[in-house]
Every structure is written in C-alpha cells, then in structure tokens.
Structure 1
Amino acid sequence: MKKGKESGKIQDHNMANEIDNEAQLETNEKVNGQLATNEEKFEPPSGEEDEKKLAAVMEMKRRKEKALVELRCRIEDAILGNFLLEKPKHDAISPRESAEAIEQLKEITLWGVPVMPSKRHVGTDVVLLKFLKAKDYKVHEAFEMLRKTLKWRQEFKADEILQENFGPDFEKVAYLNSKDREGHPLYYNIYGALRNTQIHDKILGSEEDCEKFLRWRVQYMEKGIKELKFEPGGADSIVQIIDLKNSPGPATKELRSLTRKARILLQDHYPELIHRSIIINVPLWYYVSHVLSSRLKTQRRNSKIVFARPGRVSETLLK
C-alpha cells in the first residue's frame, strides 16, 4: 500500500510539472500572438509586465488543476455509476448485469491508456488534459467530448482498425516515416498521387470507396498513436506533413469533401493529437482558400498550421 501511495505522489508531481509547462506555453502563445499583431508597437517587457505574465501563468495553472480534478471525479463517478457511455436503464438490467457493466467500464482504455483515474496510470492525466485543452478547460464539454469519443470508437470499431488491409494504392497517398527532433512521429500525406486517374478512381471512385478512405485515415492516425508516449514530457502528438505538389486542385469535390470530413472527425475524436500541420508546395489557390477560411478558426488552431511555398520547402522542414 505504501508503494502505491508513493507511486501516486510521483504521478501527481509529474503531472504538476506537466501543467506548469502547459500553462507557460499557453501564456507564451497568447503573448506572442499579441506581439505578432502589434509588431510595430513592440517594446521590451518591463518589470510590471513580467509580473503580469507570471500572474497569468499561475492563474492558468490553477485553472488547469481545478479542471483536471473535476474531470477526474466526473469520470470516476460515471464509471462507478454505470453511465460513462450512456445513462443506464435501471428497470431493464439486474443488479448483477449492472455490476458486470461497471467492471467492464473500469477496464476501458483510450489510445492504450486506462480511462479510470483511480488506476493512477501515468498517461491518464495526459490524455484527459487533451480533452480539457480542446474545450478550453470547460469540464462538462470535455467530459461530453470524451464520452462521445468512447462511444464512437465502439461503433466505428477503431480498436480493430489496425488489422484491416486497405490495399497498396493507399500506401501511395500517405506514410509514416521517422520523427522530428522532439520525438513527434512524422505523418506524410502526398495528395499529388491522386492526380493519377487509376489511383483516384480506386480511392475515391464510389461512396463505398470514400467510406473506406475515412477508415484508412483513422487507421493511419492509430498507427501514429502507437508511436506516442503518453507521459509527462513525452512526445504525445503527431506532426502532419501535407504535400500538395501536383495535387488535383480545387475542382476535385470528392477530395475536398473527404478531407473536410476527416478533419472534423479528427477534431472531434482525436483532440490535441496533431502537434503541427506543415503544408508544403502550397499552390496559390489553396493559400487563398485558407486565408479566407482562417478567419473562422481560432488563433490556436491557426498557429498549428505552417505553410511552405515550393521555394521554401527544405527551409521549413529543417526548422
């Protein structure tokens, strides 16, 4: 028992450090965002400004810690009350069935990490913080997002998707290769391959093929997750590199529709797992389209997207 308590203390200490780092990073993002929009007004920070920044970091830390504790409690209650996935129909199940269902909920994992906080797995808080961050640390919204994700994974059979074989044509469109300096797996999308009519028709030729494309996209996300380390200080997100060289262009409605569906699916069920999206060989039409749509996106989402026109690809990737 003593060993378990010591393990718990170490986990809480590590997570406190993780929250410190997250709070510092988010505060820096906000400050840097303000400086980026007011470069001509920039002045070296004064002592008073340093104090304000420190106060902002401490406030963010307190907010995160409070939200994390509340989410832990809500998940624990939902598991022990047998309503993590949905509210049970008490009249329809016996006490024995309810007890069995609770035992099953206790063993639920997400991305290989136990969801039940009292198991004190080192990765649980790391995963929960992703849902909180995606919902700006609003506990109820983060809990609902987690619940919907767990239900979606059951319905989509996401835990079994790594066993599926989608054929060699998909391998020409994307692949996982190596890691960046910080240990993030690198996931490459090569949309230029879809200019080939045969490959395009095999991947996007029918409605059934389009559904297959979405499952394949989820499979690659799951492959990348296998390379992640859900622990304080670990590389717990993926760098996505999208190569638009010779891509079909804006006229390909199927591709635009599918990439949009895939993007929404990842946002809904894989929060904060994309560390950064680097889009290379960007044609003018794509850049203009992004500028127009980016007005509707949050600053944090836009800050995770990096563009490189054809002449600056090597420079961007080597940063």
Structure 2
Amino acid sequence: MSEGLKKSPSNGFEKSLTTEEQQAKINEVRRLVGPLPEKLSIYCSDASISRHLRARNYSVKKATKMLKETLKWRAEYKPEEIRWEEVAREAETGKIYRTNYIDKHGRTVLVMRPSCQNTKSTKGQIRYLVYCMENAILNLSPDQEQMVWLIDFHGFNLSHISLKVTKETAHVLQDHYPERLGLAVLYNPPKFFEPFWTMAKAFLEPKTYNKVKFVYSDEANTMKVMEDLFDMDQLESTFGGKDNSGFDVSKYAERMKEDDKRMPSFWTRDSHPSAVPQPALKSAASLDVSVDSHSDASENDETDCLDVNGIDSEILSLEDNTSATDSGRKGSENVHPGEVKTHNDRAHV
C-alpha cells in the first residue's frame, strides 16, 4: 500500500494524516473562505470543514470550493429555516421520517419509503428531504456526525422510479451534506430495482455507494446487518424488528414542531462555543471566493474557483437574519461508526 494512504471499510483509499496535519488543513480552508455572517461562520466549524476535506480526500482546494458552494446554497436556500408547516403535506404518508430510536453507534436513523410518495413536485420533495436532514443533524449526539438510512421497498413498483428526483437527491446529499451518511440499508428491493440501481450509481461517488447494503428478510446472512446495527426490540417490524407501533403522522408532527422550536438556538454562537468568531460580512465584495493557487502545492489536481459575481451581496448579507432562524445481494459486513472527529468541536454542526 502506498505510503500516506489508508484503506477505510466504507470510503476506499484516503490520505492518512496526523491530527496536526488535519488541523493545519482545516485552518487553511477557513483562511481561504474568509469572514462570514454568523450562521455561515457557525456552519464552518472544525468538524464541518473536516467533513468537506474527507469528502475531497483532504485536498484543500477542492474542499474549499465545495464548502463555498455549500455556503452559497445555504445562504440562498436557508435550510435551517424550513418549518414543519411548510413540508407537512410531503410528510403525511411517512415517506421519510426520523425514527425515535438510534443505532448501536448512536447514529440518527431516517426511514425512507419510496412507495409512499404522495406528491409530484421535485422541488417540494427535495425541500422535505432537506428538512429531514436538518432535523436529523439537530438530533445527533455531540459525539456523532453521521446517520443511517433505512429504505423500505415494500409496495415499490416502476411508477415510483424517478431519475430526476434521484439525481437531485444525490446532488444535495453529496454536495451539501458530505460525510453525513454512515450507512444506507436497502431493505427487500425487488429484482427490477437492480437496473435502476446500476443507473443511479452513475450519480453517486464510490465512497457513497460503497456505504449501501442490500438486506433481504428471507436471507439470514444479510439480516445479520440489522442485528448488528439495531436493538431488535426497538427496530420496527417492517425491518424485522419487534416494534409494531408504525408511523403516526399526528404524533410525528408534534415531535417535529418541538424540534422546530429548538432550531433557532442551534444556530447561535452560544450553542457552539467552539465556533471561531469572525468579523461579520456585510457584502459579497468582502468575500474572496478564489482559491489560492499555492494551497496544496504538492497536489497536481486543478479545481475551478468560484466567481465572486456568482454570489449576490444581498444573499450573503445575513447578519440581520442570524436570529431567525456494490451491489446485488451481499452478506453481512462489519459496520463502523463515523470518522475520527477533530478535537474541541461539536461533531454534528
């Protein structure tokens, strides 16, 4: 094995860096990003920058570009300001929801049921997905930064396949929520799903689709994935567990409304004492969005830089708003929790 590389069970080959080397790269990315409004500054915690670096194999240039694109997206989309009332229609059938249990590694669990799709708007579906992601992150324990997806294929048919939604979903999750997925379990996918999965993989990065496990209720070797991951007394019967309570949208709505009340304080500096204070950014003109050509001088990769004209000053003037708020069938494999976190940082920011 080449020096400086390590084999990760879920992520393939990655650079192996010391804690000091990782921190130096985190600091360099933060320097290149420059001053930000409070919410965006809070988003740029050490843990967040570390996730972007891992997603780009510790290339400072690529990680900085990725982070800046996400900062622009967050400034425009304001995912932390989405509230239950806006997405309740999308949630009625339980097509995506956060469970009231976690896995054995302390990871938040999101259930996805494609057959329960109840709307045709890609925009609405993606907005609800983003809401669920933000809620799952809100409910992560301080020492965990990844989540598990349980995808139930009961009742799934060809009419539920949408390459457009799949492509947009992959874009949002990979580009704006890097390293948030710990594991995705595809539970009882039908045979006709396999060609679609082959096409869908084209939208996914290898380190993402390598985290996908196929589990079949009639195959004991794959069901061991569930037994290794969950307390079977808490796991829903849909996934081979013993809990028969099912999804109740009324009860779920109450949980989400309570979480909505917590969201504004989650995006204040008092909640994130490790966030690095920065001067408030009044205008995009203050933001140097180019990536230093001398950064990562030992790397041969070339990365396009963001154009300052692509970030509107009105979008980034947020200071006054900071208080608002492989596949086929596989046997069981060892499941590993998230990557090592950087020190003195809340991992889920």
Give deviations 1:177-211, integer Å, cap 9, x for gaps: 110011001100011223xxxx3xxx11xxxx221
| 2:105 partner letter | E
Matches within 5 A, 1:163-312: 164-172=85-93, 173-177=95-99, 178-194=101-117, 199=118, 203-204=119-120, 209-230=121-142, 234-249=143-158, 251-252=159-160, 255-291=162-198, 294=201, 299-312=206-219
Q: Specify whether residues 282 and 133 from structure 1 end up closer, same or farther in structure 2 by C-alpha distance, changes over 3 A only.
A: same
In the alignment, which residue of structure 2 is the partner of 1:131?
52
Identify which of 202, 227, 231 aligns with 1:318.
Answer: 227
Q: Specify whether residues 165 and 133 from structure 1 end up closer, same or farther in structure 2 by C-alpha distance, changes over 3 A only.
A: same
Structure 1: how far apart are the matches of 2:205 and 2:79? 28
Displacement, 1:72?
Answer: 1.4
Displacement, 1:137?
Answer: 0.7
Q: Does 1:29 align with 2:17?
A: no
**Which blocks of at least 5 consecutive residues in structure 1 are unaligned?**
1-22, 35-56, 81-104, 116-123
Structure 2: how far apart are the matches of 1:275 and 1:248? 27
Structure 2: how far apart are the matches of 1:269 and 1:257? 18
Q: Is the 8 A contact 2:109 2:149 kept in 1?
A: yes
For 1:257, what is the secondary structure of its paired residue?
helix
Displacement, 1:266?
Answer: 0.9
For 1:61, what is the secondary structure of its paired residue?
coil
For 1:222, what is the secondary structure of its paired residue?
helix
Q: Which moved more, 1:269-278 or 1:166-175?
A: 166-175
Q: Is the 8 A contact 1:192 1:244 kept in 2?
A: yes
For 1:282, what is the secondary structure of its paired residue?
coil
Q: Does 1:108 align with 2:39?
A: yes
In the alignment, which residue of structure 2 is the partner of 1:142?
63
**Which blocks of at least 5 consecutive residues in structure 2 are unaligned?**
229-349
Length, aligned pairs only: 221
Identify which of 60, 68, 74 aligns with 2:16.
Answer: 60
TM-score using structure 1 length? 0.60
Structure 2: how far apart are the matches of 1:114 and 1:302? 26
Greater helix content: 1
- The structure whose RCO (Cα within 8 Å, separation 6+) is larger is 2
Q: Percent identity?
A: 22
Q: Is the 8 A contact 2:90 2:128 kept in 1?
A: no
Displacement, 1:259?
Answer: 2.5
Structure 2: how far apart are the matches of 1:160 and 1:311? 42
Give deviations 1:141-184, integer Å, cap 9, x for gaps: 10111111011011112121135432345232111111001100
C-alpha RMSD of matched pairs (Å): 3.1
Q: Is the 8 A contact 1:185 1:227 kept in 2?
A: yes
Give deviations 1:28-68, integer Å, cap 9, x for gaps: 538x979xxxxxxxxxxxxxxxxxxxxxx9x7124x74354
Q: Is the 8 A contact 1:174 1:187 kept in 2?
A: yes
For 1:279, what is the secondary structure of its paired residue?
strand
Q: Rg bigger for which structure?
A: 1
TM-score using structure 2 length? 0.56
Q: Is the 8 A contact 1:68 1:128 kept in 2?
A: no
| 1:236 partner letter | E
Structure 2: how far apart are the matches of 1:193 and 1:245? 9
Displacement, 1:303?
Answer: 2.4
Identify which of 24, 27, 34 aligns with 1:69.
Answer: 24
| 2:185 partner letter | I
Displacement, 1:127?
Answer: 1.5
